[in-house]
Amino acid sequence: MKSCLVKCQAKGKQRPALALLLCLAVGIAYAAVISPVAAAQATQFSRPSQGADATAWFAFGLSLYEQKDYRGAKEAFEQVLLRDPQHQKAFEWLSRTQSKLWSNPAVENPPMALNVVAQADAPEGPYAAPTAREEEKARQQRIEQLFKAATALFKDKKYLDAQIKLNQLLEIDPDNRDARELAGKVSEALARVPSGDAPTGAAREAEARAKAEREAAEKGAREEAARRKAAEEEARKLAEAKAKEEEAAAKARAEEEERQARTAEARRVAEQKAAEEAARAAVKTEQTAPPAVLVQPPIPAPAEANVEDYLKRAEQFAEFGNWESAAMNYREALRLSPRNERARRGLAKAEAELARAAAATGEADVRARAAELVQRGETLLRARNYAEAEAAFQQAHTLDPSNKDAAAGLREVAKRLGQEEKSAAAVQAKAQADKVKAELALAEAHKKKGEFAQAEAAYQRVLALDPTTGDAKNGLSKLAEDRKKAQEKTAAEASKVAAEAQAQLARSAQSLVDEGRALKDAGDLVGAVKKWQEAARLDADNELAKRLPKRAGAAEPATTRHESRGAAPESAQ
């Protein structure tokens, strides 16, 4: 205080009015700052409890300010404002504390935050933290008070103090247009201040720091807004991509269900035709014993999503010719392991078998089916389901090798999977190899059912595709042996059936002989002869059936002669 008075005297020699004003300001500051601090220093303050009122926290803040613990003082004054938002002294001392933090280069200057609800020492019980609505109300009140104070200081030409108030306001609300306009006016006013009244070096440094901090805060706000906008845009794009993927997957599932329904209908029609043909063949050849049929045992579904379980289950279905179920399980295996070669080969074979079953509907239907498969493959490709997309394109190429879209789809899948080395020739070779395998499997199935003509035709188709296929040559050579064995077996069964039929006829003939004897004993010789003649017709080797009618014929003239002798006396008489 004494040094300030000396300075006032020195100034008074040059500018009396200015010196008087300066001395008055120093006195007021001494009364407002030093006296409360001294009063607070007179008592030993400790940190108030969580239930303490605003007065205790204000006194504690003054004590920390005197000890130059400006961060602690700032926290204490904020606690006061939480308990009493209208505490004017707390606002003033909080502004001074904030200015101290700004003017100290060694202290980091974080943005002033009035919302301290999240602090660990937030009040509890009757002094619980305010709600979000109360916090926003206190924030708006603080903004209005700072703006009014800055406006009043600007009118009083206290530009530095007005600038400090505006900096505090912009820390709370960086987008406040009124504060920005007033800050521009304050800066222009400071630029017009004469050199004699110009701010000191420390004031200019404080002003520069305040400006830099304000610009940094504005930049941080802009960056934060840009980050939020980018995050929202990214979230929107992800949501759109996810929606598109889900839509594509749903469409693919619908197309798959429709395809399965058509395939099931085609299989049902084919099975019905096959059953009718088998019935006509049975009637034509009078075969009594039906051909052996493979019965598919119940195949349990895997308890867990295990690739090996799906593969085993698919192979079991394929063994019994249930290609639809086999294809479904191969797809499940590919869903769990998209690069599993065993599943991909099995799915290709199953699709080829299904395509062959549907091929009987005609060439136009085959081309239409291939086009549908190409469309389904493109949908799966867009959904990044490369395994099923490749299977769809492969099936389309097998049905219609001239379909360019199917070949292009296979090349695109190979490119997506990192297999760019697959050329068009490799795709053709793979398709041909798959077709050879499918024809071989078809030939084996026909051979197991005893359909040797169909099996031979399938082997011939394999040799037409690849004349070097050893399995087809071996199959044809074994087919003749199997056919001979089957013919021998059929002949033996026919002989057995004929022997059983002959034995049955012999039993029937003997039964007729016995019935004829009974009729003869009853005096019905005519009926007995008819029975014996029927028995002789049924069994030509039955000697009794041959002799008994002859004996009956020999006995009949004797009876006639006896009757003639009885009639002679009557005529004589």
Residues 471-483 pLDDT 10s: 888 888 888 888 8
Q: Which residues contact 301 (CB under 8 A, 6 or more apart)?
A: 313
Confidence of residue 26 (pLDDT cuts 50, 70, 90): low
Residue closest to 183 by CA, chosen among 164, 197, 201, 198: 164
Q: Which residue has the higher pLDDT, 189 or 277?
A: 189
DSSP secondary structure string for all residues of 186-214: HHHHHHHS-STTSPPHHHHHHHHHHHHHH
Task: Please name the residue that has the structure tokens 């797809």.
Answer: 331
Percent of all residues in the chain with a pLDDT value above 70, rounded to a whole number: 72
Per-residue pLDDT for 252 more than 50? Answer: yes
CA-to-CA distance for 381 and 386, rounded, in angstroms? Answer: 6
Measuring CA to CA, how many Å separate 434 from each of 131, 311, 323, 397, 428?
72, 18, 15, 11, 10
Supply the pLDDT for residue 535.
Answer: 86
Q: Region 378-393: what's the mean pLDDT?
A: 89
Q: Region 488-500: what's the mean pLDDT?
A: 83
Going 492 to 493 to 494 to 500, the CA torsion angle's sign is: positive
Degrees, nearest 5: CA angle 86-91-92: 135
Q: Round the average pLDDT of the chain to a whole number and report it.
A: 75
Mind listing the pLDDT tens digit for each residue in 336-368?
A: 888 899 999 998 888 888 877 765 555 667 788
Polymer length in residues for the chain: 573
The two structure tokens encoding residue 106? 């060694």
Residue closest to 310 by CA, chosen among 330, 325, 295, 288: 330
Mind listing the pLDDT tens digit for each residue in 125-170?
A: 443 445 778 778 888 988 999 899 999 999 998 888 888 888 888 8
Write the burial class of residue 262 (CB in 10 Å: 0-12 exposed, 13-18 middle, 19+ buried).
Answer: middle
CA-to-CA distance for 303 and 140, rounded, in angstroms? Answer: 63
Mind listing the pLDDT tens digit for each residue in 292-323?
A: 334 444 454 444 458 888 999 999 999 888 88
Distance of CA 157 to the CA centre of its chain: 68
**Angle, helix 201-285 to helix 341-358, in steps of 10 degrees:** 50
CA neighbours closer than 13 Å in the CB half-sphere of residue 566: 6
Per-residue pLDDT for 29 more than 70? Answer: no
CA-to-CA distance for 213 and 109, rounded, in angstroms? Answer: 8
Query: Could you say which DSSP state residue 175 is in?
Result: T
Residue closest to 58 by CA, chosen among 81, 25, 35, 24: 81
Least trusted range by pLDDT, from 50-54, 369-373, 382-386: 50-54
Query: Could you say which DSSP state residue 290 is in?
Result: P
Residue closest to 63 by CA, chosen among 50, 52, 48: 48
Confidence of residue 278 (pLDDT cuts 50, 70, 90): low
Per-residue pLDDT for 326 more than 70? Answer: yes
The two structure tokens encoding residue 308? 């090996």
Which residue type occupies 224? E
CA-to-CA distance for 241 and 383, rounded, in angstroms? Answer: 10
| Cα distance between the two ends of the chain | 198
| Residue 368 CB coordination number (10 Å) | 14
- Residue 294, SS3? coil
CA neighbours closer than 13 Å in the CB half-sphere of residue 548: 27
Confidence of residue 405 (pLDDT cuts 50, 70, 90): very high
- Phi and psi at 541, nearest 5°, equal -90, 0
